[in-house]
Structure 1
Amino acid sequence: MKNRLVEYRKTFGYSQERLAARLGVSRQTIISIEKGKYDPSLNLAFQLANVFETSIEKIFLYEEKGEEKS
C-alpha cells in the first residue's frame, strides 16, 4: 500500500523516532510503513490519522493488487 507518511511526518516536524515514541511503536515500524513494506493495523492507521489531524484515506493510498499507474 502506498502512503504519504513521510510527507505528513515532515510537515508536522516529526522525526521517525519521535513519531514512533508518540505511537508506542519502534522506529523500524515507521521506516517499514514509509517504505511500503508493512501495512499498519487499522488501530495504528487511525492513530496516525489522529496525530496528523486528517483521515486515513489521505495518508494511505489504496491500490488493487496488479493495478498499474498510467
Structure 2
Amino acid sequence: MPSHVLPLNADEDESISTQEMNTALSSLGEPPLSIDDIAFLRDHTGGQPLTWNRFIEVLLVT
C-alpha cells in the first residue's frame, strides 16, 4: 500500500479537477472515477466546481 496520498489540489486553485481526484485515488491504489461517479458528484454539487469542502459535504450528506 502506498505510504502517502499525492496532493489532491496540485495546481492550488480552489477546485479539484477530475484529473487531480484520479491522481489522488491512484496514489491510494484505487481505480479512477467512472463516468457515473463524475455525474454523481456533478449532480450533488449543483454543477458547481468540486472543492475539498464540497467533496466532504457530498460524502457526509449522501
- The answer to whether TM tops 0.5 is no
- Normalising by structure 2, report the TM-score: 0.32
- Normalising by structure 1, report the TM-score: 0.30
Q: Going by fraction, where is helix more abundant, 1 or 2?
A: 1
